[in-house]
């Protein structure tokens, strides 16, 4: 993401440099200011996306842990049912 930002800034700087040969410095300064503002917004968005990705990773790990716990609970319940069936079967055949 930062490489893209650097590339965009480089292209904008090159465009500003090429435009500097023209007579209107006011437009060049305005374009440079806009490019800086856009770069700042892009960096803020990248930081926000990274924070969201970290939160999503944490949520995924928590969900995975919960799923493992649920699988363990299902195994224990199935084991208990099997033991009850075996006990019932033994008591009926006596």
pLDDT tens for each residue of 1-45: 666 766 767 777 777 666 666 657 788 788 889 999 999 999 999
Q: Can you give the residue ranges of every domain in the chain?
A: 2-93
State residue 13's pLDDT score.
Answer: 74
CA gap 37, 43 in Å, rounded: 10
Q: Are 2 and 39 in contact (CB under 8 A)?
A: no
- 């009850």: which residue's tokens? 84
* Residue 79, token pair as written in the block: 């084991």
Q: CA 80 from chain center: how many Å?
A: 41
Q: How far is CA 10 from CA 6, 34, 36, 57, 58, in A?
A: 6, 14, 11, 33, 36
| DSSP calls for 54-83 | HHHHHHHHHHHHHHHHHHHHHHHHHHHHHH
pLDDT tens for each residue of 69-91: 999 999 999 999 999 999 888 87
């Amino acid at each position: 993401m930062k490489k893209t930002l650097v590339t965009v800034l480089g292209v904008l700087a090159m465009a500003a440099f090429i435009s500097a040969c023209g007579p209107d410095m006011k437009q060049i300064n305005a374009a440079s200011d806009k490019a800086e503002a856009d770069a700042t917004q892009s960096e803020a968005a990248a930081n926000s996306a990274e924070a969201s990705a970290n939160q999503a990773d944490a949520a995924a790990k928590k969900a995975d842990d919960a799923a493992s716990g649920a699988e363990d609970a299902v195994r224990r319940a199935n084991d208990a049912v099997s033991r009850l069936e075996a006990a019932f079967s033994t008591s009926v055949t006596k």
